[in-house]
Structure 1
Amino acid sequence: MSKQVLIVDDSRVSRMLARAYLEERRPQWTFFEASSGEEAIALAEREELELVTLDVNMPGMSGLAAGERILQIRPSAQVVVLTANVQSSVRQRAESLGMRFLQKPITEATISRLLELVDG
């Protein structure tokens, strides 16, 4: 089954890694990328996104603020925070907004865990 997926990270390398691991496991999915929260929100307004991965620390709008807005636009989307910022306050805020939380680095194991979260 196809899914519309948005990968949001200000690091181009992180976006490429996440996309490569996801495409390998789910080649039928459609992928979009954004390098900022603002860009992610604009994409959410145009596309029927079903899964969004978000970094927290980005220039401009934080990933948590962007995720909150995306969930207002696409309430059925699954949002997974994928970040190196592992402060418990960040994790608690993400979870209170209905987002899942995974710690970087982006590895095959991290992406396997992400797929377990969204498939299971």
Structure 2
Amino acid sequence: MTQAKAMTVLLVDDSRVARLSLMRQLQSLPLSLDILEAASADDALALMQERQADVALIDFNMPGRDGIELAGLFRQSHPQMKLALVTANIQDALVKRARELDMTFLAKPASLEGLARFLEVAE
């Protein structure tokens, strides 16, 4: 599968280590990616004023707005964006809230297979 342009992926997590881990996994996939990073929901919102992302991988627990709140805002402003909640907070109520926002739920640490499925990469 060849792509005409790189897929732009936004990583939103207050943990730099978590963002780097996701970035390494994403870069190992057979895709052309442009990866953007934000350490908070507010940083992500500001970044999206300047850039457009096709996909966002969002942590739940962050200072300020949580990942579900950010996803709700993205659903309003960028309804076509693919969203995934990537979190170690695995509660049925949280999974349900993510699915109500048409988000994919990926438990941390995210597996390469889960990321590939979310990004629709043929392995």
Which segments of 5 or more consecutive residues in structure 2 lack a partner in the other structure? none
The counterpart of 2:84, out of the listed 80, 84, 87, is 80
How far apart are the structure 1 equivalents of 2:84 and 2:31? 19
**Cα distance, 1:73 vs structure 2:** 1.6
**Cα distance, 1:27 vs structure 2:** 5.2
Which segments of 5 or more consecutive residues in structure 1 lack a partner in the other structure? none
**Cα distance, 1:26 vs structure 2:** 4.2
Alignment of 1:61-80 (within 5 A): 61-80=65-84
Partner residue, 1:24: 28
Partner residue, 2:120: 119
The counterpart of 2:40, out of the listed 22, 36, 42, is 36
How far apart are the structure 1 equivalents of 2:95 and 2:15? 20
User: Structure 2 length as normaliser, TM-score?
Assistant: 0.88
**Cα distance, 1:45 vs structure 2:** 2.4
Displaced runs of 4+ in structure 1, greater than 3 A? none
Confirm or deny: 8 A CA contact 1:44 1:73 kept in the other structure: no
Query: How much identity, in percent, do the aligned residues show?
Result: 32
Larger deviation, residues 65-74 vs 22-31? 22-31
How far apart are the structure 2 equivalents of 1:96 and 1:41? 21
Partner residue, 2:10: 6
Alignment of 1:71-110 (within 5 A): 71-106=75-110, 110=111
SS at match of 2:119: helix
SS at match of 2:11: strand
1:33-86, CA deviations, whole angstroms, 9 ceiling, x for partnerless residues?
A: 001011111122222211100000001110110111112221111000000000
Confirm or deny: 8 A CA contact 2:26 2:115 kept in the other structure: no
Confirm or deny: 8 A CA contact 1:5 1:50 kept in the other structure: yes
User: Structure 1 length as normaliser, TM-score?
Assistant: 0.91
How far apart are the structure 2 equivalents of 1:68 and 1:27? 27
How far apart are the structure 1 equivalents of 2:79 and 2:86? 19
Which structure features the higher share of helix residues?
1
Select the structure of larger CA radius of gyration: 2
Confirm or deny: 8 A CA contact 1:7 1:52 kept in the other structure: yes
